[in-house]
Chain A
Amino acid sequence: AQKITQTQPGMFVQEKEAVTLDCTYDTSDPSYGLFWYKQPSSGEMIFLIYQGSYDQQNATEGRYSLNFQKARKSANLVISASQLGDSAMYFCAMREAGGTGGFKTIFGAGTRLFVKA
C-alpha cells in the first residue's frame, strides 16, 4: 500500500540558515508525483513544489528545492535562507493514479517547523 513517512514531528532552525525536512515514500506504481505543502497557523494549504517520478532533475522553486532520491524513495524538502514566515506545518504528499482516470493523494503526518530569530 502507498505510504508517506515524515519522521520529524518538529524542527527548529535559525533564521537565515537552511533546513531539510525528511520524507520517504513507498509505492509499487512506477508513475507518481511528489508534493510539498505548507500549512501556516491560519490553516490554508499552500503548494510549494512538485517532483514527478520520471523527472531527471531535482525540482526547485525559489528558496525551496526537493532532494529526490528515487532508489532510496526519499523526497526531502530543503528550505534555504529560512525566514520567520516559514514557521508552519509542512506536509509531504504523493499522488498516484487512482483508477478510472482519477488521482489519489496521500499525505504524511507533517513536520512542524519553528524558525528562531
Chain B
Amino acid sequence: DSGVTQTPKHLITATGQRVTLRCSPRSGDLSVYWYQQSLDQGLQFLIQYYNGEERAKGNILERFSAQQFPDLHSELNLSSLELGDSALYFCASSVGTSGSLDNEQFFGPGTRLTVL
C-alpha cells in the first residue's frame, strides 16, 4: 500500500458526460501528479500540482482540468468524454520540494475509466 488513495476504482460512463476522479496523497506529500495509461498512448504525464498550485503540464487535453485543494487532495475533471478517454488514470504523490528531482513518486491504485 503506497498510502495514496484514489476513488472511485472503476467508473463507467457514456460519451459526452463529465466525471471527477479524486486523489488523496500520502500524509506529508505536497505534490500530486496525474497520469493517463491507455493501450494506444501508453503512460502519459498530465499535470502536477504542488501545495495547491499548478507546477507542470504535460499532454493534458483542454477538456480535462485538475485542481489541488487546501487539504492537498486533488481532483481531475474530465468533460465531454470520448471513447478514446477510456484509460487507467493514476495519481502519484511526492514530498515534492522544489528542485529535488530524486523525490520518489508514490502511485495510487488508479481509477479505471470506461467510456461507452
Chain A contact-residue range equals: 20 to 34
Q: Is the CB of A106 within 8 A of B99?
A: no
Instruction: Answer whether residue A69 sits at the interface, using C-beta atoms and an 8 A cutoff.
Output: no
Instruction: Determine the distance from Cα of A101 to Cα of B96 in the docked complex, in whole angstroms.
Output: 9
- Measured CB to CB, the closest approach of chain A to B60, in angstroms, equals 11
Question: Which of A11-19, A20-28, A76-84, A90-98 lies on the face that meets chain B?
Answer: A90-98
- Measured CB to CB, the closest approach of chain B to A109, in angstroms, equals 5
- Measured CB to CB, the closest approach of chain A to B59, in angstroms, equals 10
- Measured CB to CB, the closest approach of chain B to A8, in angstroms, equals 15
With a CB–CB cut-off of 8 A, which chain A residues contact B104? 47, 50
Instruction: Answer whether residue A72 sits at the interface, using C-beta atoms and an 8 A cutoff.
Output: no
Chain B: CB-nearest residue to A52: B102
Interface size in chain B (residues, C-beta < 8 A): 28
Which residues of B does A touch, CB under 8 Å? 2, 33, 35, 42-45, 48, 50, 54-58, 88, 90, 92, 98-99, 101-107, 109-110
Chain B: CB-nearest residue to A106: B45
Which interface residue of A33, A46, A50, A102 has the most chain B CB atoms within 10 A? A102
Which residues of A does B touch, CB under 8 Å? 31-33, 37, 43-47, 50, 52, 91, 93, 95-110
Q: Is the CB of A47 within 8 A of B106?
A: yes
With a CB–CB cut-off of 8 A, which chain B residues contact A52? 101-102
Instruction: Determine the distance from Cα of A105 to Cα of B2 in the docked complex, in whole angstroms.
Output: 19
Sample of 7 A–B contacts (CB below 8 Å): A44-B109, A100-B54, A101-B99, A103-B55, A103-B56, A103-B101, A107-B42
Instruction: Determine the distance from Cα of A93 to Cα of B58 in the docked complex, in whole angstroms.
Output: 14
